[in-house]
Structure 1
Amino acid sequence: MTKIFVVEDNLAIIQMVQDALTKWKYEVVTVHDWDHVDDEVVAADPDLILFDITLPTFDGFYWIHAVRKHCQAPIIVISAADIDNNIMRAIALGADDYIMKPFSTTVLLAKIQALLRRQESDERELKWDDNHFNALTNQLTNSAGTVALSPTEGALLAILINHLNHTVEKQSLLEWLWQGGKFLNENTLNVNISRLRTKLSTVNLDDHLRTERGVGYRLVNDHES
């Protein structure tokens, strides 16, 4: 059974989400100890996480950062105020999508299903040169080591691998990754590209990700680097 971890302290919202998700046969897990949210999430090993921003102890940004150190499950942020700043900051920390309060469970379910479907539909392994990317675990491996990517970073890399040595336009990436979400613009994409480039640098691949100014991005192989 697909497991969804809900990091939310509003009991009414928790109940609404739980009722909606259980109807679709999702298992719902919630927080018991607000001082150890990251430990609970990691122990639960969920397929997807819903994160509110305003929480009893540390805020959602703190916990997203802590969780991302050990868990690469897709994260949907629930936000009520100052949406642009919240979303940009959450995505920089590793979130994959957002939903605004108040929200309908129909929209929430659509977002959950889209993220889960995106993971399931990816090819298991993509290769270029001596680099191996597992689209199920979001791990990139080569002779320099292994690095774990977030689901969005992984989806972004998969698109670039499938268009190796060809520039992918920014708008195309936005459409493929987030269906052109209203608040997910070029700045959001730039943040994810920056995070992906930082992780690529840990396995000596940062110079393989090129920025074509005003157009988009291009992943190149060893012959083009």
Structure 2
Amino acid sequence: MFKIMIIEDDATIAQLIAENLEKWDLKAYIIQDFNQVMPEFTAAKPDLVLMDINLPVFDGFHWNQKIREVSQIPIIFISSRNTNMDMVMAMNMGADDFVNKPFSMEVLLAKINALLRRTYDYQDSNANFLEHNGLKLNLQNGDAQIKGQTINLSKNEYKLLQFMMRQHGKIISRDRLLRELWDDERFVDDNTLTVNVNRLRRKIEKAGIEDYIVTKVGQGYLIP
């Protein structure tokens, strides 16, 4: 799940954005202390930043510059300061987009998803397929394809593969996978997850891709 950091001092706007992000399976992190923006940024490790220009202590341009000193993650400014000079400054300082207040939530979410797709090869939940490293997952019928060969997946194998493909490049703990696959993981034998992962892995290997799902001992699973 991608994490979006919201640097916005209007609590109502920040909360509204956060609630809409969650609906799109995006995790929201709202800055709490405007004296500690960089420490919070470092600790949260967001995948994208939404930032106002007018902020307490230092303005958004200052924090944009500080973030760019350590990271190239996407940054979108959201501001009522909509002069051409503000937009030019934002872009020249390394921001990726600028959204004027008041803004359409649909437009903002579309811009966020577009930036995530371009930056992380991420496919949003409205797409018909997920593709990564030679495997194509059909989100309509639950089948996977490798080199033209169709792989029939069980319901749990499909849910497992879809979730892991959306998180490719990140280690996913066994507990997280249990929560994603079953409504109440307390009543699921931990071995059931192992069985599902191994069965899925064998199907993918039989179709021609070795080591598509990697086990990280003591940490979980990873699709590189």
TM-score normalised over the length of structure 2: 0.52
Quote the residue 1:213 is aligned against: none
Quote the residue 2:120 is aligned against: 120
Q: Secondary structure at the match of 1:20?
A: helix
Deviation at 1:121, TM superposition (A): 3.7
Where structure 2 has 5 or more consecutive residues not aligned to the other structure, the ranges are 123-224
Deviation at 1:30, TM superposition (A): 1.2
Deviates more, 1:62-71 or 1:34-43: 34-43
Q: Distance in 1 between matches of 2:120 and 2:5?
A: 19
Deviation at 1:59, TM superposition (A): 0.4
Q: Distance in 2 between matches of 1:32 and 1:60?
A: 15
RMSD: 1.4
Quote the residue 1:64 is aligned against: 64
Please list, as runs of the form range in 1=range in 2, the aligned pairs for 1:1-225 lying within 5 A after superposition.
1-121=1-121
4+ runs of 1 displaced by more than 2 Å? none
Deviation at 1:97, TM superposition (A): 0.5
Deviates more, 1:99-108 or 1:35-44: 35-44
Q: Distance in 1 between matches of 2:110 and 2:88?
A: 21
How far does the alpha carbon of each residue in 1:100-127 deviate from its partner, in whole angstroms, 9 at most, with x for none? 00011100100001101112349xxxxx
Percent identity between the two aligned chains: 45
Q: Distance in 2 between matches of 1:82 and 1:108?
A: 15
Deviation at 1:82, TM superposition (A): 3.8
Where structure 1 has 5 or more consecutive residues not aligned to the other structure, the ranges are 123-225
Deviation at 1:70, TM superposition (A): 1.0
Partners of 2:6 and 2:51 within 8 A in 1: yes
Report the structure number with the largest CA radius of gyration: 2
Deviation at 1:37, TM superposition (A): 0.7
Quote the residue 1:179 is aligned against: none
Q: Distance in 2 between matches of 1:82 and 1:112?
A: 19
Partners of 2:53 and 2:81 within 8 A in 1: no
Deviation at 1:11, TM superposition (A): 1.1
Amino acid at match of 2:103: F
Q: Distance in 1 between matches of 2:38 and 2:61?
A: 12
Q: Distance in 2 between matches of 1:84 and 1:97?
A: 13
TM-score normalised over the length of structure 1: 0.52
Aligned length: 122
